[in-house]
Chains A and B, each alone.
Chain A
Amino acid sequence: MTLADTKPQALDFECETGNYHTFCPISCVAWLYQKIEDSFFLVIGTKTCGYFLQNAMGVMIFAEPRYAMAELEEGDISAQLNDYEELKRLCLQIKRDRNPSVIVWIGTCTTEIIKTDLEGLAPRLEAEIDIPIVVARANGLDYAFTQGEDTVLAAMAHRCPDKAPVLEAEKKERNAISTLLNFGKHKDDVATADSEYHDHPPLVLFGSLPDPVVTQLTLELKRHGIKVSGWLPSKRFTELPVLEEGYYVSGVNPFLSRTATTLMRRRKCKLIGAPFPIGPDGTRAWIAKICSVFGVEPQGLEEREAQIWQGLEDYIQLIRGKSVFFMGDNLLEVSLARFLIRCGMTCPEIGIPYMDKRYQAAELQLLEQTCSEMGVPLPRIVEKPDNYNQIQRIKDLNVDLVITGMAHANPLEARGISTKWSVEFTFAQIHGFTNARDILELVTRPLRRNHSLKDLGWDKLVQEAASV
């Protein structure tokens, strides 16, 4: 690669005021309680937290979710009530009504400020009521949006069994995937099925993804003879994967740096640092990196990537040459920008709540490489952005598409600026080869809408468009 030799200028990192809009990290209960089917999430906070969840979860709230607020009252704040007794009362009620396999306590800003010792209370109560209690401090003082999942998974990592049951590994069928893959096969077939895999050290993937995506990525690695021994999290708390010292782990999402650190430091696992499997380019790089760590030669990987790109061409035509601006709120920004630049877009700015340059190193490198190969300028990466300043820049740059939160989407649209609501990327299926088209479906939607409405002449719908 000749371009790389010319040393492209390095990525430019900036940090602004942190005055930006994002979801509170407690929102992670919305998708995690669905993912971990035998869990119950108890958010220990105030009406503010409850109000946010109630509104952000939308109709999910009516489906008797396995989540509740432990709403702190004035007596809890002034320590007139005993935290332990109060939590015990609520947890017993949860045990009686729902009988979960685990109760996850989500610490909030209030428990931080009044210094409730959740980590100290949990083991005592756990012993007393006989249900595991996992504590995650996913509050708005420290974290943004998807980082909530990171704090929960980091806490769960401590609960993974540390020894595979001796000789009984197959019979146990710990994880849902092997169960699925072996569905309907006899025990003997399962043994032979293992020979489809290369002989490599156990690999555990981390990050919560919808089950179909778990299946897709697992099959994707299987094509290259790589066996996924387990996922953190799995479908049930009782099926958390075994993590022995020396196991390999790899993250599927860019916001999981604490989990990665915990797996490396506390569980002595080896982290495979790779770009994230978002977009066909990311997916290929992710698989290639895993293969290379295990000394496996990937089979037909490039052809597969090329084939996926071909299938995207009709959507790519809509965005090629256009510009995209990420205001930043969910930490998926770098991966998405890298994919969209590969699709032919330009990207002046990637806003992001928090940038872990070590955990995202491979992704950042792929971003630089992509920019240089596509011949476009490198984006500036703005950590802790300032939404007010960003809106001035959006206007100056005259961008074609802004990826942003709902607080700004309608006001920008009213000023003739196309937007895509960023939160959809966290709930849609965007990982792996199979779902690359779904990302573009989202990204192109406002542009397709513009096309349908283009002759109507009412793209600016505020009176003083100047006063942003």
Chain B
Amino acid sequence: MKLAYWMYAGPAHIGTLRIASSFKRVHGIMHAPLGDDYFNVMRSMLERERDFTPVTASIVDRHVLARGSQEKVVDNITRKDGEEHPDLIVLTPTCTSSILQEDLENFVERASMTTQSDVLLADVNHYRVNELQAADRTLDQIVQFYLEKAKAKGELPEGKTAKPSVNIIGTTTLGFHNHHDCTELKRLMADLGIEVNEVIPDGASVHNLKRLPQAWFNLVPYREIGGMTARYLEDAFAMATVDIAPMGVVETARCIRRIQQVLNAQGADVNYEDFIDHQTRHVSQAAWFSRSIDCQNLTGKKAVVFGDNTHAAAMTKILAREMGIHVVWAGTYCKYDADWFQEQVSEYCDEVIITDDHTVIGDAIARVEPSAIFGTQMERHVGKRLDIPCGVIAAPIHIQNFPIGYKPFLGYEGTNQVADLVYNSFTLGMEDHLLEIFGGHDTKDVITKGISADSDLAWTADGLAELNKIPGFVRGKVKRNTEKFARDRGFTAINVEVLYAAKESVGA
């Protein structure tokens, strides 16, 4: 047992559901107790999804506990098949089913005999993997299933596309700025003259998966999700992988050069150097920003970085290499993939921290007192408490991290967004600091006086105590309304009963 208040990565089933609901016409059925379909709330709220999240539960209740799921899981799969006609149903185990040890594989087999749709059991164990690992695994599992099925039926298309083409692997629902990143990557590929063969899983159809091997290579922008699929495609179809996240000016160039290499090895004869040069100097503002006086003022300022592998590593490199900022420590919560992180960032920061304990991170922030933090929502709140600005660069995230406006982190437009994020975080801190030095906003007292001035009425102790329970932002209004009410009715003192009588009379 461990005492935990906060977790950076969710339970395994969340990862599986993120993959399932990213595809089109794939339905997730959770084997779970009532209440574990919270995923639907998150997707509907955070992504502001217009469609019903294609996830239902086959409920585990007392009855199931006593007698097993028996026909229930099979019935639920068959029912969903009839109602929604999905292409694929993914039976998703949870922590509860992990310990019930029912033969879910058998249910899947039985159900798939009667369903039109394919049925798969997600091969994830709650106690062994987290959300990110499970997502990686489930994507791999679905891709393998459909490629092997196509192979068995002799339906695999032969050969490569005529022009150089790519599969973009790993953009998912509830992923940090994934939709924007995906648009930016497609744009980048178009600029490079590369056709996008398939994007998986977000918005993809399982029927198209058999086309994956026609691409010239696979681009895996995120370290956490897509790697397993790319490795499978490498082994089974000898497809090349580019797994450099194009985040930041230098890394984007590195990613493009790697693509160039991969394509030329297959006889494409492309040269992207002029493109990189033009984009760097004239399209992305980030290179220019790093020369400008704004950025000069940031030189040597202290920052700390924490997040998932992809974003924390890229951010650390951007801050240190492209902006001259002093990264005191950089950390990741992807403990299972810590070596990779070490190797990526160790030359760009003084110290590397690997932990999924938010209190360790909180203490480490307090210890170094950076001028800015780049982390998750948790670090943003630590920053609030310590009065240090924070730019959010990775999940866990809130609704404000699902912006409506176009805000990629990847590609050349991404470099602009990141520059803004960095610059705004630091200047915010500086402005606050200056305000304090010069006496702060000196308007506070005046405003408070305005509310209570010319009050000819006495508040009794209980009335005042009750008034103080009313949230600050409406308290002034309630106070004014109550006093007006008391004056109109000729009360001289306001106690708690008058307060509520006033509330009822004005309806406010």
Contacts and interface: CB of A to CB of B under 8 A. Distances in A.
Question: A and B bound?
Answer: yes
Interface of A: 18-25, 44, 46-48, 50-52, 54-56, 58, 61-62, 65, 67-74, 76-77, 81, 86-87, 89-90, 93-94, 109-110, 112-114, 139-142, 144-145, 180-181, 183-184, 211-212, 215-216, 219, 307-308, 311-312, 314, 388, 391, 405-411, 414, 433-434, 437, 461-462, 468
Contacts of A25: 35
Nearest to B55: A407
A139 B1 contact: no
A407 B7 contact: no
6 contacts: A47-B10, A48-B96, A54-B7, A109-B60, A112-B65, A140-B36
Contact of B500 (A18, A140, A216): A216
A21 B52 CA distance: 12
Nearest to A62: B381
Contacts of B462: 180-181, 183-184
- A interface secondary structure, majority: helix
A54 to B, nearest CB: 6
Contacts of A437: 504, 507
Given A183-B462, A311-B505, A406-B45, A74 B127 contact: yes
B34 A140 contact: yes
Given A142-B62, A434-B500, A73 B1 contact: yes
Q: Quick one: which of B14, B45, B51 has the most chain A CB within 10 A?
A: B51
B45 A219 contact: no
B44 A141 contact: no
Interface string B427-446: 00000000000000000000
B50 interface: yes
A67 B5 CA distance: 8
B263 interface: no
B33 to A, nearest CB: 3
Nearest to A90: B3
Q: Quick one: which of A62, A81, A109, A183 has the most chain B CB within 10 A?
A: A109
B507 A18 contact: no
A414 B466 contact: no
A411 B49 contact: yes
Q: Quick one: which of B3, B4, B6, B7 has the most chain A CB within 10 A?
A: B3
B83 to A, nearest CB: 7
Contacts of B32: 140
A46 B14 CA distance: 13
B218 interface: no
A71 B4 contact: yes
Nearest to A71: B4
Contacts of B96: 48, 109-110, 113
B100 interface: yes
A411 B500 contact: no
B186 interface: no
B201 interface: no
A69 B7 CA distance: 10
A212 B56 contact: no
Q: Quick one: which of A22, A406, A461 has the most chain B CB within 10 A?
A: A406
B127 A73 contact: yes
Contacts of B49: 410-411
Nearest to B98: A77
A61 B4 CA distance: 12
Contacts of A54: 6-7, 396
Contact of A110 (B42, B62, B99, B465): B99
Contact of B95 (A46, A86, A405, A434): A46
Contacts of A219: 496-497, 500
Contacts of A211: 469
Nearest to B75: A17
B81 to A, nearest CB: 13
Interface string B98-116: 0110000000000000000
Contact of B40 (A113, A145, A407, A414): A407
Given A61-B5, A69-B3, A142-B62, A407 B503 contact: no
A388 B32 CA distance: 17
B24 to A, nearest CB: 12
Given A211-B469, A407-B44, A62 B59 contact: no
B500 A71 contact: no
A184 B461 contact: yes
A404 B111 CA distance: 31
Contacts of B223: none
B337 interface: no
Contact of A48 (B11, B469, B496): B11
Contacts of B40: 21, 407
A113 B384 CA distance: 41
B461 A52 contact: no
A438 B456 CA distance: 30
Contacts of A141: 33-34, 60-62, 65
- B interface secondary structure, majority: mixed
Nearest to B377: A62
A51 B14 contact: yes
A140 B3 contact: no
Interface in B1-36: 1-7, 10-11, 13-14, 32-36
Given A52-B38, A141-B65, A409-B44, A87 B1 contact: yes
Contact of A433 (B65, B398, B496, B504): B504
Contacts of B503: 434
Given A62-B381, A144-B35, A434-B504, A407 B41 contact: yes
Contacts of B5: 61, 65, 67-69
B126 interface: yes
A286 to B, nearest CB: 17
B422 interface: no
A328 B187 CA distance: 45
A314 B10 CA distance: 46
- CB-based closest 3 A-B pairs: A24-B35, A140-B33, A414-B50
Contact of B50 (A62, A180, A411): A411
B256 interface: no
A70 B1 contact: yes
B56 A388 contact: yes
Contacts of A52: 35-36, 38
A113 B126 CA distance: 15
Given A55-B41, A113-B96, 15 more contacts: A22-B35, A48-B11, A52-B36, A68-B3, A69-B4, A71-B4, A73-B1, A87-B1, A141-B60, A142-B62, A144-B35, A183-B465, A212-B466, A434-B500, A434-B503
Contacts of B396: 54
B501 to A, nearest CB: 9
Contacts of A183: 461-462, 465
B283 to A, nearest CB: 34
A215 B4 CA distance: 35
B48 interface: yes
A90 B11 contact: no
B468 to A, nearest CB: 11
A414 B36 contact: no
Given A87-B1, A308-B504, A407-B44, A56 B496 contact: no
Interface in B264-309: none
B366 to A, nearest CB: 14
A77 B504 contact: no
A185 B192 CA distance: 82
A44 B50 CA distance: 35
B41 A405 contact: yes
A457 to B, nearest CB: 17
A200 B507 CA distance: 34
B37 A50 contact: no
Contacts of B147: none
B59 A18 contact: yes
Contacts of A410: 44-45, 48-50
B11 A109 contact: no
